[in-house]
Amino acid sequence: MERGEPMSAPARNALPALYVGSVQHRRFRPRPHRLKYRLFMLHLDVDDLAGTARASRLLSVNRWNLISFHEADHGPKGEGSLGDRVRRLARERGLDWDGSRVSIVAMPRVFGYVFNPLSLYLCRNADGRLAALIYEVRNTFGGMHHYAFDVDRPEAGTLRHQCAKDFFVSPFLPMEMNYRFHLKPPAEHFSLAIEDNDGEGRMLVATMTLARRALSTRALAGVLVGLPLMTFKVIVGIHWEALRLWWKRTPFYSPSEAIASALPPSERSSG
């Protein structure tokens, strides 16, 4: 490539890649509340994790390093590699995807620890077309759930889809809610907004906005210096924000109460 020649699309979007930015939550009801944290995530080809391991001596796959990615931290439970398990889930959900290529956007382990509230799988056909999306959601009670969607218009700048909430996440949010996703898939930038709506309208909006960097030793050293305890801060931040919401007297839902509230009246316990 000659100096000054524009970088091709495949080069710009080559994997593995590093994304650095922030996550924000804005709660509108019943008690206004805001938070904002810095974070970084990796975008990896799950079928070429050996290539990921070669990207930097600070990064390892399936073994300890300052930054590491472990297949066991991600995906539905079961036998096989991460790619095998994601493809099995896609078949079970009936996604219109040929199973050719899948990548993940997630936080890695830092100093051996990670908690991913949300990870994203991008499922592409053999021709490179984005065919399906799988959102992997975790809560602090040890649960995990997947929301899966076909992509009807992969060429659209922002992909939009929605579904009913069917997994307990926060004790400060009821179960009777609807999610609206607004996603700009990873390229030079990556952004995701999730609206939580109930019968009265929008209750909370969570957004992630990140910029791409080439994944290199220098780049990883930079985020280690700038965000050395990122993954620990995620779990500490979740509990700190929960304390702030409790202090504001935000309504609290236990897991059993929240799940029961989402059931039809005929199925709720009278006890």
The full set of domain ranges for the chain reads: 13-267
Q: Is the confidence at residue 226, as pLDDT, over 80?
A: yes
Number of residues that make up the chain: 271
| Global confidence as pTM | 0.88
In this prediction, residue 4 carries a pLDDT of 35
Q: How far apart are CA 56 and CA 221, in angstroms?
A: 10
Q: Is the confidence at residue 83, as pLDDT, over 90?
A: yes
Give the residue, 270 or 12, on which the prediction is more confident. 12
Q: How far apart are CA 76 and CA 85, in angstroms?
A: 6
- What would the pLDDT profile of 152-183 be if each residue is shown by its tens digit? 887 778 999 999 999 999 888 888 999 999 99
Buried b (16+ CB within 10 A) or exposed e, 143-165: eeebbbbebeeeeeeebebeeeb
DSSP letter at 85? H
Torsion of CA 152, 13, 126, 43, to 10 degrees: -80
Q: How far apart are CA 245 and CA 204, in angstroms?
A: 13
Q: How far apart are CA 153 and CA 251, in angstroms?
A: 39
Beta strands in the chain (DSSP E): 17-27, 33-45, 59-61, 67-69, 101-106, 109-110, 118-124, 130-138, 144-150, 159-164, 178-184, 189-198, 201-214
Q: What is the mean pLDDT of the chain?
A: 88
In this prediction, residue 256 carries a pLDDT of 65
